[in-house]
Each structure stands twice: as structure tokens, then as C-alpha cells.
Amino acid sequence: MGKKQPSISVTVDAIVFGYEKNEGVSVLLIKRKYEPFKDSWALPGGFVQEEESLETAVKRELQEETGIKVNYLEQLYTFGAPQRDPRQRIISVAYWALVKTSLFVELKADTDASQVQWFNIEKLPKLGFDHKLILDKAIQRIRAKVRYEPVGFELLDKKFSFADLEKLYMSFLGRDIDRRNFRKKMMGLKMLDELDEWSKSEGAGRPSKMFRFNKARYEQLQKEGILFEI
């Protein structure tokens, strides 16, 4: 006789990173309404229904529990440790996304969530399940990705100062950067259009030249096999 097939369920979890230049990088978390880990903070997510694709399930769970809709999420990793969920054997497929925090200010907790809130990634609460492991994996992925793809430009205003760009990269990398080399590399790639505009000075600061990301130029660099690396 063959071995009895194990009963395994599949869930999806969503790691939504938000960015705002005065707040840095945040992640969207929910407070669980039910056991297990009742009243603990966790990533939005839930069980995949029989008729759903993984992508459909993660978008549905995210919208149901937080009230936000994200058009594109990228698959991160699959987590399947036998004891990761106290209910039963559950495998979770995690997805991540990058958004401008300012576009998602009206959050609405529902279904399995009693609260929903943005948390700075440097000031995270204790998380339920293995969600700290999942989130750490996502932070590692994004810190690697911003070094070789300009994924962060969409989080800036259409017109931005070089200081804004530096702040974005330092926020995602979690460290200071060599500002002179950073500027030299960015300008050398010619992905930034320098505008005949200046930022409004804040306090005693001097106005700064404004720039715009040239997406067509970046796509051309990709075709030519030129690497974007910070």
C-alpha cells in the first residue's frame, strides 16, 4: 500500500512596502482578529481558494484585509517549514510590492483584521507566525534589487531633486552612500533629465536643481546590456 497523502493547505502573504521621503520605508501590517496569534501584528494574507490563482488570491486578501488595491505584486519566496502554522501543515507563497504611501492613506481593516497600519521597517512590532522571517527575506530582496534596477523612481514625484533621490536610496539600502560616486554614476548613465527648474528652498536650505527619470533611456540601456548598479 502507498503512503497516505498529507493534507497541506496553501496561503498567500503580501509584503507591501511604502515610501514617503519624510518617513522613509514602511510596511503594511494588520492586527489579527482571530486565533492563532489573535491581536498580534502580521502580514496581510490568507488561504487560496480552489478556483483562484495565487495572484488573484493575494490581491483579494490584501484588498479584503486592508482596503487597498495593488495592481502588481512580485513573487518573493515559498515558505513551508512543517511547524510554521499551529493549525495545520500550511505552505505560504509570499508576494511583495512597492507603492507611494501617500496614495494609500485610507486604510480599512476588515475580515480577519481588526486594525491596519503602516510601520517603519526600522520600528517593527513583534509579528505572528514566521512573518518576521518572511519580512526579513523581502527586505533583503528589495535592498538587492534597488542596486541593479531603478525600481524606486516610481516612488518619487515626477520632478525631484538629487537630494530626494539620495534619500530614497539610503532609505531602502539602510545605510549611507558615497554621494559623490552615486551622483557620478547616476549622471553617467544619462537616465536623469536635468530640468530648467529649481526646488523651493526649505528653511535655510538652498534651492536645488530638479530632475526627471528618463524611462525610455533606461529601457534603451537594458537593450544594450548596460547594467544599472549602485
* Cβ atoms 15, 25 nearer than 8 A: no
Mean local confidence (pLDDT), 32-56 = 96
Kindly tell me the burial class for residue 158, based on how many C-beta atoms sit within 10 Å of its own C-beta (0-12, 13-18, 19 or more). exposed
What pLDDT shows up at residue 17?
A: 96
Q: What is the pLDDT of residues 60-112, one digit of tens each?
A: 999 999 999 998 899 999 999 999 999 999 999 999 999 999 888 889 999 99
Q: Does the pLDDT of residue 159 top 70, yes or no?
A: yes
pTM of the prediction?
0.90
Give the confidence band of 1 by pLDDT, cuts at 50, 70, 90. Answer: low
Pairwise CA distance, residues 134 & 206, whole Å:
42
* Separation of first and last alpha carbons in the chain: 57
Is 82 in contact with 89 (CB distance < 8 Å)? yes
Instruction: Give Cα 185 distance to the centre of its chain.
Output: 25
Residue 21 has pLDDT above 90, yes or no: no
**Residue 6: its pLDDT value, please?**
74
pLDDT at 201: 57
Mean pLDDT throughout 1-26? 88
Least confident of 3-7, 94-98, 167-171, 215-219: 3-7
Q: How confident is the model at residue 24 (pLDDT cuts 50, 70, 90)?
A: very high
Residue 6 grid cell: 498529507
Going by pLDDT thresholds of 50, 70 and 90, the confidence category of residue 138 is very high
Do you find a cis peptide bond into 36, omega within 30 degrees of 0? yes
Coil/strand/helix, residue 108 = coil
Domains in the chain, start-ordered, CATH in brackets? 9-135 (3.90.79.10), 151-223 (1.10.10.10)
